[in-house]
């Protein structure tokens, strides 16, 4: 019998009425003859509330093991509720928390990676007539036997990992938009839904801020060739609805630029006047990495008199940690700088498209569009299929809209 994985995000399970609606949707697939594994998120807002309780209880330097124990709980509630509602509908369903499956992960609390999902347990239950396994997303168990979580948005990754492990026919991600758009439809009404998007493009968009799919889920789908579809849990949708994330070869035609992504809460730090000699970068970025700071863009200025400025970007909520790491490295004599300047008011805006591999002029078009709006670019980085700029946060929406227009993304 064919297996299907269906994942429902926070807004899709926000209350009992919506959970009933989800149960109906799952019932349709059961009636079609599928064995279904449903992955659920916590009710929308719940995970934020739980995170807030953790920081209220223990400040910013909490014990990550207990953070995971607390924030994983939201999913447990929705999994149990959905199993109950399915049973009310006469469907043989049962819920599982991550540790019961067990979803085996690394020990990296709050950002663990799934290592293995044994299938024998569910296989046996399906063979006995179970129709639906409801699994709490976002969580697993470490080799030490502690509960772990997979990072924010991690239920997407749970879903794809189950689809890969069980050889599911498809992994359907039900959310509050009806697919992947050329940019976040909340920023511009001109955003256009894509029928298909290549894994590589989706991977870049996700890692550059488009939160419709967690980055790791796209990585897994690409590696294990999972048919991944994003669709709305609020609209009745046909079998070809939503957006299919698929191999590049399966897309007939595409624009040079597929989409525009943004990451609102970025920061920029500059170490003023560091020595320009071999080993300096290692001396700076080593301690930052040990402090678990995710450095993104890096720019080193031209040296003068043997000294230079080093600028890098990082998520705004890691600035305090980065400052501490740099001051400590300075005090220990590992690095020497005159000043440390943090700018917490920047955002990153990126254009992404596999067409960039074969087309020139994308950067020029991007910079012209930004300059026409009077937007100053602070830092630029490029890779084969993306260009990112750091700009003042107050211009972020304007920049996204201008780039969406400049690359003609409104029309196919």
179 binds Mg ion (CB under 5 A): no
240: tokens are: 């070809």
Closest alpha carbon to 106 in 154, 140, 64: 140
Stated as kind and residue range, the H or E segment containing 329 is helix 319-331
CA distance 276 to 161: 45
Task: Please report whether residue 140 would count as binding ligand ADP according to CB under 6 A.
Answer: no
- Chain centroid to CA 80: 25
* Residue 9 in contact with ligand ADP, rule: CB under 6 A: yes
Q: How many residues bind ligand ASP (CB under 6 A)?
A: 13
Does residue 242 interact with ligand ASP by CB under 6 A? no
Calculate the alpha carbon distances from 321 to 120, 287, 325, 326, 347 in Å: 44, 10, 6, 9, 19
Given the complex with Mg ion, which of 152 and 227 has the nearer CB atom?
Answer: 152
155 in contact with ligand ASP (CB under 6 A):
yes
Among 3, 5, 9, 212, contact with ligand ASP (rule: CB under 6 A): 9
Choose the one of ligand ASP, ligand ADP, Mg ion, none that binds residue 138, judging by a C-beta under 5 to 8 angstroms depending on kind: ligand ASP
CA 243 to chain CA centroid, nearest Å: 17
152 interacts with, out of Mg ion, ligand ASP, ligand ADP, none, CB within 5 to 8 A per kind: ligand ASP
Which of Mg ion, ligand ASP, ligand ADP, none is residue 47 near (CB under 5 to 8 Å by kind)?
Answer: ligand ASP
Site for ligand ADP, residues 200 to 219, rule: CB under 6 A:
205, 210-212
- Alpha helices per DSSP H over 89-214: 120-127, 155-165, 199-207
Residue 17: asked if its preceding bond is cis (omega within 30°), the reply is: no
Q: Residue 138, interface with ligand ASP (CB under 6 A)?
A: yes
Question: For ligand ADP, which residue has the nearest CB?
Answer: 9
In the list 175, 215, 308, 401, the residue contacting ligand ADP (rule: CB under 6 A) is 175
Interface pick for ligand ADP out of 181, 199, 312, 395 (rule CB under 6 A): 181
Number of H helices, E strands in the chain: 12, 18
Point out which residues pair with 275 in neighbouring strands: 307
Host H or E run for residue 176: none
- Please indicate if the annotation marks 367 as binding a ligand: no
Please, are residues 315 and 281 in contact by the beta-carbon 8 Å criterion? Answer: no
Among 153, 154, 287, 353, binds ligand ADP (CB under 6 A): 153
Closest to 321 measured CA to CA, from 355, 289, 277: 289
Between 166 and 181, CB nearer to ligand ADP? 181
Q: How far is the CB of 304 from ligand ASP (least distance, A)?
A: 46
- Residue 70 sits at φ, ψ, to 5 deg, of -80, -55
> Binding of Mg ion at residue 153 (CB under 5 A)?
yes
Q: Does 180 bind ligand ADP (CB under 6 A)?
A: yes
Q: Does 10 bind ligand ADP (CB under 6 A)?
A: yes
Residue 259's binding partner among Mg ion, ligand ASP, ligand ADP, none (Cβ under 5 to 8 angstroms by kind) is ligand ADP
Beta-bridge partners for 5: 37, 171
In total, the chain counts a number of residues equal to: 412
What is the maximal distance between C-alpha atoms in the chain?
78
* 153 near ligand ASP (CB under 6 A): yes
Q: Report the Cα 103 to chain-centroid distance in Å.
A: 19
Alpha carbon 153 to its chain centroid, in Å, reads 6
Dist CA 166 CA 366 (whole Å) = 43
Smallest gap, in angstroms, from Cβ of residue 177 to ligand ADP? 5
Alpha carbons 316 and 25: distance in angstroms, whole number: 39
**Residue 8 or residue 166: which is nearer to ligand ADP going by CB?**
8
> How do the residues of the chain divide into helix, strand and coil, expressed in percent and rounded to 5?
40, 25, 35
Tell whether residue 42 is a contact of ligand ASP (CB under 6 A).
yes
Which residues belong to the annotated binding site for substrate?
A: 47, 75
Binding site for ligand ADP (CB under 6 A): 9-12, 41, 153, 175-177, 180-181, 183-184, 186, 205, 210-212, 259
Binding site for ligand ASP (CB under 6 A): 9-10, 41-42, 47, 74, 137-138, 152-156
Binding site for Mg ion (CB under 5 A): 9, 153
Which residues belong to the annotated binding site for ATP?
A: 7-10, 175-176, 181, 186, 211-212
């Amino acid at each position: 019998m064919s297996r299907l994985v269906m994942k429902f995000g926070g807004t899709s399970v926000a209350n009992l009425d919506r959970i009933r609606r989800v149960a109906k949707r799952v019932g349709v697939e059961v009636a079609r003859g599928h064995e279904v594994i449903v992955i659920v998120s916590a009710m929308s807002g719940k995970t934020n509330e739980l995170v807030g309780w953790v920081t209220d209880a223990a400040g910013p330097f909490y014990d990550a093991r207990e953070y995971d124990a607390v924030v994983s709980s939201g999913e447990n509630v929705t999994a149990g509720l959905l199993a109950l509602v399915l049973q009310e509908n006469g469907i043989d369903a049962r819920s599982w928390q991550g540790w019961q499956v067990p979803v085996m992960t690394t020990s990296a609390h709050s950002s663990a990676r799934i290592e293995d999902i044994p299938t024998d347990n569910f296989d046996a239950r399906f063979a006995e007539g179970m129709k639906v396994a409801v699994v709490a997303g976002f969580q697993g168990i470490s080799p030490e036997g502690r509960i772990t979580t997979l990072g924010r948005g991690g239920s997407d990754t749970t879903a794809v990992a189950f689809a890969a492990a069980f050889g599911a026919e498809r992994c359907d991600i039900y959310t509050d938009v009806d697919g992947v758009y050329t940019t976040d439809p909340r920023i511009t009404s001109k955003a256009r839904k894509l029928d298909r998007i290549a894994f590589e493009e989706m991977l870049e968009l996700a890692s550059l801020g488009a939160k419709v799919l967690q980055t790791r889920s796209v990585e897994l789908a690409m590696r294990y060739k999972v048919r991944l579809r994003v669709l709305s849990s609020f609209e009745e949708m046909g079998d070809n609805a939503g957006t299919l994330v698929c191999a590049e070869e399966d897309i007939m035609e595409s624009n040079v630029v597929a989409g525009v992504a943004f990451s609102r809460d970025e920061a920029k730090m500059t170490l003023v006047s560091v020595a320009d000699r071999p080993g300096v970068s290692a001396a700076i970025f080593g301690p930052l990495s040990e402090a678990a700071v995710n450095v993104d863009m890096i720019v080193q200025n031209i040296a003068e008199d043997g000294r230079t400025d080093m600028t890098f970007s990082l998520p705004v909520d890691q600035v305090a940690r980065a400052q501490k790491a740099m001051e400590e490295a300075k005090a220990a004599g590992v690095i020497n700088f005159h000043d440390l300047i943090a700018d917490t008011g920047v955002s990153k805006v990126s254009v992404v498209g596999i067409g960039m591999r074969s087309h020139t002029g994308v950067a020029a078009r991007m910079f012209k569009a930004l300059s026409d709006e009077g937007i100053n670019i602070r830092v630029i980085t490029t890779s084969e299929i993306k260009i990112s700029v750091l700009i003042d946060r107050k211009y972020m929406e304007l920049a996204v809209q201008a780039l969406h227009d400049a690359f003609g993304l409104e029309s196919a």
